[in-house]
Amino acid sequence: MSHGPRERLMMAAIELVRERGVEGTGLSDLLERSSSARRSIYQHFPGGKLELIDASTRAAGAFAQAAIREFGATMSSRELVTAMIRLISDSLSGSGFRLGCPIAAAAYAPADTIAVLDAAADAFAGWAAEIEAVLAREGRPEAEARSLAGFIVSGVEGALLRARASRSTEPLDDAADQLTRLVQDR
């Protein structure tokens, strides 16, 4: 399927932010990676690069949230955590440890890029809500399910950052071991 300039720009933004972060992603890089004309950015994203990063962060967050929801519909919390970390680990090692999480990268955007930071916060909250639903379905009290779900997102994201920095999946393996124990302990 052929993608138009808007979709190509968003896919390029997600990939470049995963690789270089928000600050390291320039307009010329976005245009080159997406094979788009300069006018395409302003035609589809009148606010320029930051509007594009905001939209691509929201799209990446929604994609991951839908995957968590789909997995969570048929998996236990333990299976869900294991599946999430396996996918992240495979993606990270498959990229030669070049590509991190686009949402974490957006969360490191400068403090004055409120829309991008809000997009990252919304994505993290959406992921936690999906995990919370699985934990609640398993009978955890609401407050416990909410807190534990947020901790799982934080633990997985922290492990991903450590794994990328060390160029080793060991931090993700450790997170899988500990988080799966935590969700099965009652």
Domain boundaries of the chain, sorted by first residue: 5-184
State the pLDDT at residue 38.
87
Cβ–Cβ < 8 Å for 142, 136: yes
Cβ–Cβ < 8 Å for 71, 88: no
Query: CA torsion, points 139, 144, 150, 151, in degrees to nearest 10?
Result: -100
94-106 confidence digits (pLDDT tens): 999 999 999 999 9
Q: Is residue 184 scored above 90 in pLDDT?
A: no
Average pLDDT over residues 129-144: 97
Q: The whole model's pTM is what?
A: 0.93
Show Cβ contacts of residue 125 under 8 Å, excluding neighbours closer than 6 positions. none
Q: Is residue 129 scored above 80 in pLDDT?
A: yes
Average pLDDT over residues 127-146: 97
12-59 confidence digits (pLDDT tens): 999 999 999 999 999 999 999 999 988 988 899 999 999 999 999 999
Which CATH topology does 5-184 take? Tetracycline Repressor; domain 2 (1.10.357)
Cβ–Cβ < 8 Å for 47, 113: no
* CA-to-CA dists, residue 48 to 6, 67, 103, 121, 167, angstroms: 12, 29, 19, 21, 33
State the average pLDDT for the chain.
Answer: 95
Average pLDDT over residues 153-166: 97
Percent of the chain's residues with pLDDT above 90: 91
